[in-house]
Amino acid sequence: MKILRRITLAMGILCIAFAVNAQKFGHITSEELLQGMPEFDSAQIKVQELRQQYDLEIERIQVEINKKIEEFNQTEATLSNLIREAKASEIQEMQVRLQNFAQTAQQDLQQQSSAFIQPVMDKARKAIDEVAKELGLIYVFDLSQGNPVYTSEESVDMLPLVKAKIGL
């Protein structure tokens, strides 16, 4: 009975050892992959154009506020208290509207950026998955994320294979 247990244990250890040796790992620098994709450049350009539109609108509103402040400062001494308070209140409201617009623009810019870039990331992810399956890899580490400290030569560098898969 003891001999049977020892043989079973030894066979189990051998199976685990073979399974560990059979595992294949790969790595990729997804940031480099994305930057090499023309679709990524197009998405970045769209985001930049949208950012410029928002920046121009923010600048236009700021100029308008600055004119109101300058006008207020020049005429403040000649205005009645009621008119002075109304103009000061108007300037404050404009500044609040500017802050709200800037925050909303930033949120929209983030959403639009995700919407433009997500299809590119999905295409890259699909190609990575396909290459990993073709090579029989069980894990693929993204070096862009800074996780692995060491990469063995036995780890498959997937970047050239994935680039070829998506036609880069």
Residue 9 lies in a domain: no
Looking up residue 37, the CATH number of its domain turns out to be 3.30.910
| Residue 76 domain boundaries | 25-165
How many C-beta neighbours within 10 Å does residue 109 have? Answer: 15
Residue 86 lies in a domain: yes
Percent of the chain predicted with pLDDT > 70: 83
Confidence category of residue 44, pLDDT binned at 50, 70, 90? very high
What would the mean pLDDT of 138-156 be, rounded to a whole number?
A: 75
Q: Which two tokens stand for residue 37?
A: 């994709």
Q: What is the rounded distance in angstroms from the CA atom of residue 21 to the CA atom of residue 137?
A: 12
Residue 3 lies in a domain: no
DSSP 37: -
Q: Domain total for the chain?
A: 1
Cα 160-22-32 angle, rounded to 5 deg: 20
Q: Which two tokens stand for residue 29?
A: 């620098």
Residue 72 lies in a domain: yes
Contact 79, 112 (CB under 8 A): no
Confidence category of residue 10, pLDDT binned at 50, 70, 90? very low
